[in-house]
C-alpha cells in the first residue's frame, strides 16, 4: 500500500469515527496534443471540441462504464454567446448497473446501420407501441441543412400514482405549414423547435427525431427520472438491429441516489470533465488515473507544451469540491464551526491559494482569496465567528442544528470577487445553499485555486492534502483563532516561492504531528515545476539563484466587444523574480540589472519586478518594457565583471552573454542604483527607476 493510501485510510478512519462522510468532486481540464484553434485558447467552443469530447465519452463507455448512456445536454449560457454551451452527460447507476439495457455494444451504437429517413415514421410507430401510446409526429424543415429530416411529437408522462405507476400521453400538434421550421441557431433539433406555436394546454415536452449524414438522433422530452428510464429502455428495445441513436435532452432533477453522472463540458480553451461524486480520496484518485489513460487513448492530456521544452497547465482549472452523500447526511450542515475553522486555516496559509493554481493570481484572478476581494477582513471575522457560535449548544442529531441556510447566506456574499461574483472565489459557496439560483442548493464547497497539472500524482496529492487538513481540523483545539492581517505582505513576500514552500512545510509538520505523515516529495516536485530555476550561479562557495515568482496582475476597466458586450481584461505585463543569494554574496559581489546596481538587503527574501511587455490596453502605457533584462555580477573590491546573463524571452531563462555583447560595467562603476523596495516590502520594482 502506498503512503498516499495509508494516509487516506487514516483520514477516512477519523472521519468515520465522527460519523462524517465527506465526498469529493472534481473538474479536471484537458486539451489535445496540438491545441490549435480558438476553442483551445480563448473560446468555449469550436469545430474540434465536441468530436473530441464524444471520443473521450465513447472510450469511457467501453472501458470504465460499460452500458452507460450518453446524453447531449444544453449547459450554461453566458452573455455574449448566442446559445448555451453544450454538456455531454454520461449516466450510470449508483449500484454499478446501467439504468438502461442497451443491446450488443451499448449506446451510442457501434454496430448496425443508422435509422434511415424513409424508415423514421415506421420506427416511431414501433417505439410508441412499446410505450402503449400513439405518437403523432409533425415533419419539420431545417434552414441550416435542407437534407436533414426532422419529426417532432408531443409526449409527456402523467404524475406518478401512489404505487409509482404513470401513464403516457401523446397530444396532436396541429402546426400550420408555414411554421414547420426549426430556428436558425445551431444545435440539436429539439433545442430549435417552434414551441411558441404549441397550444397552451399541451406541455412543452416534445420528442424529436432527426436523421442526417452523421446518423440519427433523438431529443428526449423533459421528464422525471423513472419515466425517462422507461422511455430510454423502449428506445433500446426498439432498435432491432439498428445502431443506437445519439441522444440529447435535459437531465431529470431527481437522480440523486439513483444515477452517477459524469460530465464533459465546453469551457474557454479547454474540455472540462465533471467527475461523478467520489466517496473518498481513493475513488477520486482512481477517476483521475482512468481519465488520464482515456485521454491518452483519444489524444487529450492535462497540460500544454511551453517554451524551452517545459510543460504548463491547460489554462483551465482542476477545481476540487466537497459535499456529502446526500443533503440529509451532509457533513457541514450541522458543523458550521468545523467549516469556519477550515476557512480560517486557509486564510492563515497562502500556500493553499497560490502554490497549486495558475499564473494569474490575486484579486483579478478566477479564484481570489476572500481577504483579497474585500477591503476590511473584519467582515470575515464576524462571519466566521457567527458560524462558530452556531455550533454551541446543539447536538449533532438535533434537527434544529441544521445550519445550511445560515452558512449559505453568511458566506456566499463574502466569498466573492470584487464585482460580487460568488463563483469567482478561492473557496466558492455559490452551489452550497442559494435557493434563488438554479443548482444553488447542492451543498457543495468548491476550491477553485487549483489548476490541471501534468502529473496525475500531483493532483491526487493535493486532494489528499485537502482531506487531511479537514480531518486534522475536526478537533477544535487544532483550529486557528482570528485572522492574519497580511496587508501588503500578502502580495509581496507571500507570493515568493521560498515563502510558499516554507508555508507548506509548516502545514505538513502540523499534519505529521497529528499522525498524518504526508511525503513531501510530490509537493516539492510540483513546487519545482511551478517555480523553475532561471539562473543558478556559483563560484568558490558563493551562490546566486533566480526563480520565477508570482505576480498579481491587476484588472483594468471593462473593454467593449463586438455585439455590445464587455470583457474582463487583465494587465499581464509585469513579471517577478525571486533572487536568493548565499550569505557571502553581499560582502563579495555586487549585482547589476541593466547596468545599474541593485541594492540587496542583508537578509532575504527579496525579489525583482520588471515589465515584460506593453500591449494595449494596459496600466501605465508610458512605462516601457525592461527587456532585454541583463544581470551582471561584479566584485565589490575592484569592480571587475565576473559574469553576465541575459533573460531569454523564448524560454524565460538567463543565459551567459558573450564578452563582446556584455555591458561594460567596469567603465561605469558609479552608475546610480535602482530604488530599493518600498518600506516594509521586499520587491524591487524597476518601474521606480
Rounded mean pLDDT, 668-689? 84
Q: In sequence order, what DSSP letters do the residues of 462-500 get, joined into one string?
A: HHHHHHHHHHHTTSGGGS--S----GGGGGTGGGSHHHH
Residue 143 has pLDDT above 70, yes or no: yes
Q: What is the pLDDT of residues 520-566, one digit of tens each?
A: 999 999 999 999 999 999 998 999 999 999 999 988 876 666 555 55
Show the CA angle centred on residue 414, arms to residues 413 and 419, nearest 5°.
75
Q: How many residues does the chain have?
A: 689
User: What is the pLDDT, as a whole number, of residue 669?
Assistant: 61
Nearest to 28 by CA among 256, 278, 297, 301: 301
Q: What is the pLDDT of residues 578-630, one digit of tens each?
A: 999 998 998 899 999 999 998 776 667 899 999 998 888 888 989 999 999 99
CA distance 500 to 502: 5
User: What is the pLDDT, as a whole number, of residue 660?
Assistant: 58
User: What is the pLDDT, as a whole number, of residue 562?
Assistant: 56
User: What is the pLDDT, as a whole number, of residue 566?
Assistant: 56
| Longest CA–CA separation in the chain, Å | 99
Least confident of 152-156, 296-300, 567-571: 567-571
Specify the pTM: 0.93
pLDDT bin (cut points 50, 70, 90) of residue 399 is very low
Q: In sequence order, what DSSP letters do the residues of 624-648 get, joined into one string?
A: PP-PSPEEEEEETTT--EEEEEEEE
Asked if 576 and 607 touch (Cβ cutoff 8 Å), the reply is yes
User: What is the pLDDT, as a whole number, of residue 519?
Assistant: 98
Residue 266 has pLDDT above 50, yes or no: yes
Residue 82 has pLDDT above 50, yes or no: yes
pLDDT bin (cut points 50, 70, 90) of residue 665 is very low
User: What is the pLDDT, as a whole number, of residue 659?
Assistant: 63
Residue 414 has pLDDT above 60, yes or no: yes
**Regarding predicted confidence, which is higher, 308 or 642?**
642
User: What is the pLDDT, as a whole number, of residue 214?
Assistant: 86
Mean pLDDT (the chain) is 91
Rounded percentage of the chain residues whose pLDDT exceeds 90: 73
Return the top range by mean pLDDT from 73-82, 476-485, 631-640.
476-485
Least confident of 101-105, 266-270, 531-535: 101-105
CA distance 373 to 427: 12
Nearest to 605 by CA among 586, 579, 631, 583: 579
Bridge partners (DSSP) of residue 149 are 211
SS3 73: strand
Return the top range by mean pLDDT from 111-125, 289-303, 565-579, 648-662.
289-303
pLDDT bin (cut points 50, 70, 90) of residue 69 is very high
Rounded mean pLDDT, 230-236? 96
pLDDT bin (cut points 50, 70, 90) of residue 236 is very high
pLDDT bin (cut points 50, 70, 90) of residue 397 is very low
User: What is the pLDDT, as a whole number, of residue 663?
Assistant: 58
Residue 296 has pLDDT above 80, yes or no: yes
CB proximity list for 143: less than 8 A, separation 6 or greater: 181, 182, 184
Rounded percentage of the chain residues whose pLDDT exceeds 70: 93
Distances (CA, A) of 64 to 57, 69, 100, 495: 10, 12, 16, 41
C-alpha cell at 355: 502554490
Amino acid at each position: 500500500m502506498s503512503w498516499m493510501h495509508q494516509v487516506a485510510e487514516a483520514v477516512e478512519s477519523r472521519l468515520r469515527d465522527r460519523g462524517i462522510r465527506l465526498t469529493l468532486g472534481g473538474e479536471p481540464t484537458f486539451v489535445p496534443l496540438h491545441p490549435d484553434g480558438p476553442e483551445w485558447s480563448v473560446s468555449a467552443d469550436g469545430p474540434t471540441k465536441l468530436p473530441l469530447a464524444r471520443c473521450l465519452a465513447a472510450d469511457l463507455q467501453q472501458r470504465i462504464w460499460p452500458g452507460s448512456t450518453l446524453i447531449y445536454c444544453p449547459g450554461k449560457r453566458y452573455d455574449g454567446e448566442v446559445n448555451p454551451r453544450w454538456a455531454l452527460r454520461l449516466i450510470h447507476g449508483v449500484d454499478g448497473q446501467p439504468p438502461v439495457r442497451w443491446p450488443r455494444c451499448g449506446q451510442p451504437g457501434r454496430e448496425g446501420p443508422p435509422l434511415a429517413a424513409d424508415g423514421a415514421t415506421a420506427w416511431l410507430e414501433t417505439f410508441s407501441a412499446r410505450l402503449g401510446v400513439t405518437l403523432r409526429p409533425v415533419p419539420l424543415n431545417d434552414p441550416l441543412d435542407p437534407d436533414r429530416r426532422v419529426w417532432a411529437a408531443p409526449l409527456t408522462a402523467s404524475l406518478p400514482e401512489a404505487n409509482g405507476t404513470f401513464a403516457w400521453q401523446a397530444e396532436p400538434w396541429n402546426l400550420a405549414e408555414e411554421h414547420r421550421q426549426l430556428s436558425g441557431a445551431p444545435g440539436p433539433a429539439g433545442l430549435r423547435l417552434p414551441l411558441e406555436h404549441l397550444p397552451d394546454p399541451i406541455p412543452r415536452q416534445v420528442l424529436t427525431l432527426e436523421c442526417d449524414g452523421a446518423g440519427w438522433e433523438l431529443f428526449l422530452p423533459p421528464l422525471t427520472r423513472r419515466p425517462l428510464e422507461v422511455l430510454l429502455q423502449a428506445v433500446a428495445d426498439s432498435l432491432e438491429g439498428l445502431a443506437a441513436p445519439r441522444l440529447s435532452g435535459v437531465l431529470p432533477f431527481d437522480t440523486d441516489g439513483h444515477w452517477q453522472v459524469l460530465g464533459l463540458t465546453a469551457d474557454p480553451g479547454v474540455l472540462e470533465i465533471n467527475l461523478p461524486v467520489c466517496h473518498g480520496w481513493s475513488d477520486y484518485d482512481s477517476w483521475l488515473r482512468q481519465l488520464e489513460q482515456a485521454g491518452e487513448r483519444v489524444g487529450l492530456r492535462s497540460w500544454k507544451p511551453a517554451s524551452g521544452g517545459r510543460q504548463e497547465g491547460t489554462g483551465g482549472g482542476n477545481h476540487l469540491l466537497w459535499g456529502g452523500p446526500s443533503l440529509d447526511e451532509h457533513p457541514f450542515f450541522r458543523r458550521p464551526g468545523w467549516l469556519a475553522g477550515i476557512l480560517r486555516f486557509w486564510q492563515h496559509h497562502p500556500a493553499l491559494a497560490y502554490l497549486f493554481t495558475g499564473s494569474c493570481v490575486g484579486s483579478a484572478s478566477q479564484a481570489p482569496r476572500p481577504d483579497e476581494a474585500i477591503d476590511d477582513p473584519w467582515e470575515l471575522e464576524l462571519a466566521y465567528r457567527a458560524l462558530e457560535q452556531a455550533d454551541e449548544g446543539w447536538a449533532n442529531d438535533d434537527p434544529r442544528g441544521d445550519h445550511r441556510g445560515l452558512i449559505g447566506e453568511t458566506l456566499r456574499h463574502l466569498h466573492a470577487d470584487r464585482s460580487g461574483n460568488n463563483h469567482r472565489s478561492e473557496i466558492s459557496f455559490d452551489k452550497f445553499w442559494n435557493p434563488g439560483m438554479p443548482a444553488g442548493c447542492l451543498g457543495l464547497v468548491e476550491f477553485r485555486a487549483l489548476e490541471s497539472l501534468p502529473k496525475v500524482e500531483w493532483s491526487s496529492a493535493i486532494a489528499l492534502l485537502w482531506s487531511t487538513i479537514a480531518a486534522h481540523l475536526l478537533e477544535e483545539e487544532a483550529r486557528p483563532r482570528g485572522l492574519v492581517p497580511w496587508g501588503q505582505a500578502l502580495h509581496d513576500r507571500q507570493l515568493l516561492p521560498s515563502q510558499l514552500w516554507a508555508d507548506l512545510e509548516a502545514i505538513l509538520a502540523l499534519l505529521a504531528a497529528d499522525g498524518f505523515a504526508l511525503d513531501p516529495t510530490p509537493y516539492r516536485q510540483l513546487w519545482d515545476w511551478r517555480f523553475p530555476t532561471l539562473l543558478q550561479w556559483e563560484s568558490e562557495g558563493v551562490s546566486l539563484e533566480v526563480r520565477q515568482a508570482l505576480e498579481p496582475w491587476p484588472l483594468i476597466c471593462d473593454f467593449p466587444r463586438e455585439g455590445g458586450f464587455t470583457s474582463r481584461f487583465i494587465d499581464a505585463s509585469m513579471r517577478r523574480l525571486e533572487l536568493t543569494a548565499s550569505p557571502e554574496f553581499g560582502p563579495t559581489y555586487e549585482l547589476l540589472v541593466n547596468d545599474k546596481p541593485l541594492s540587496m538587503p542583508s537578509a532575504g527574501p527579496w525579489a525583482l519586478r520588471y515589465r515584460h511587455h506593453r500591449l494595449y490596453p494596459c496600466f501605465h502605457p508610458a512605462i516601457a518594457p525592461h527587456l532585454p533584462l541583463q544581470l551582471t555580477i561584479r566584485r565589490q573590491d575592484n569592480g571587475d565583471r565576473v559574469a553576465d546573463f541575459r533573460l531569454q524571452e523564448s524560454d524565460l531563462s538567463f543565459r551567459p552573454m558573450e564578452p563582446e555583447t556584455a555591458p561594460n560595467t567596469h567603465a561605469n562603476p558609479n552608475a546610480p542604483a535602482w530604488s530599493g523596495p518600498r518600506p516594509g516590502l521586499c520587491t524591487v520594482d524597476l518601474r521606480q527607476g
